[in-house]
Structure 1
Amino acid sequence: MTRSHASGDVPLIPLPALTLPALRQAVATLVPSRLPEFFNDMQAAFVRAGDEDSVVPIRMFYRQWGVVIEIERHPHTAARLHAAEAGLDDPDPKVRQRAIQEAGEIVRAAHRQVAGG
């Protein structure tokens, strides 16, 4: 369990494989409102891969959405991230700074988890 996940923050689904079908299903299950964004990002990644003659943009797309799913499959962690994101608009610079730190910690932990660490 990573530090970003509170004790008892049981995942709603297992972490999916970083494949298009598995990620698409996870997005549809956890955050269906983000499916249009998922498909737009997918299309952009495949176009960029073709333009660059490289699979790197596709791998980056898989990693990006793996991180989204890693966060969203833990309800408490997702709520913390969304609260931090809301804090970015706060007029108080101290609140904004705490929000930046909190969001950064959550996202870095999710990247580590998706990377297998």
Structure 2
Amino acid sequence: MSTQADHGHELIPRPAQTPDALRAALAVVDPGRLEEMQTTKDEAFTMAVEWQSLSPVRSWVLAWARDIEIACRPDLSARHARAKSNVEHEDPVVAQEALRDLSAVLDEAMEAVRT
């Protein structure tokens, strides 16, 4: 587990960026997504073999590290849920603002896991 900046009340320490560590973290913060994680992992490894490249595996690791970062941080999790619930709002101004906030949450989480 690595250290992380204090964003206030993280549920667990940021996991190492390995499949096993990410799976263990997801089992704590969002166990309902474990099957999805396994499916996308299988797809990433299949693509890596077909493409003869590790980039699909690296993308998989970063995507799950990002999603776990969001789930571990109540501040990001709340913003993420609120934005997702408004992305298809009937008011286009609300939907556009939700899309901007969703993008900002994803960017903030990705930046956190890349440091």
**TM norm. shorter chain > 0.5:** yes
- Is 1:28 equivalent to 2:27 in the alignment? yes
State the Cα deviation string for residues 25-64 of structure 1 (Å, max 9, x = none).
0111100111111011100000000100111111110000
Q: CA RMSD in A?
A: 1.3
Q: The residue matched to 1:84 in structure 2 has which SS?
A: helix
Deviation at 1:72, TM superposition (A): 0.6
- Is 1:45 equivalent to 2:44 in the alignment? yes
Q: How many Å separate the matches in 1 of 2:40 and 2:88?
A: 25
Letter in 2 for 1:83: R
State the Cα deviation string for residues 63-117 of structure 1 (Å, max 9, x = none).
000000111101231121011001012100011011011111111011111110x
Runs ≥4 in structure 1, deviation > 6 angstroms? none
Percent sequence identity is 33
Structure 2 match to 1:57: 56
Q: Please, what TM-score do these two structures have when normalized by structure 1?
A: 0.90
Letter in 1 for 2:73: H
Q: How many Å separate the matches in 1 of 2:87 and 2:70?
A: 18
Structure 1 unaligned residues grouped into runs of 5+: none
Q: How many Å separate the matches in 2 of 1:109 and 1:91?
A: 27
Q: The residue matched to 2:48 in structure 1 has which SS?
A: helix
Structure 2 unaligned residues grouped into runs of 5+: none
**Relative contact order higher in (CA < 8 Å, ≥ 6 apart):** 1
Q: Please, what TM-score do these two structures have when normalized by structure 2?
A: 0.92
Size of the alignment, in residue pairs? 111
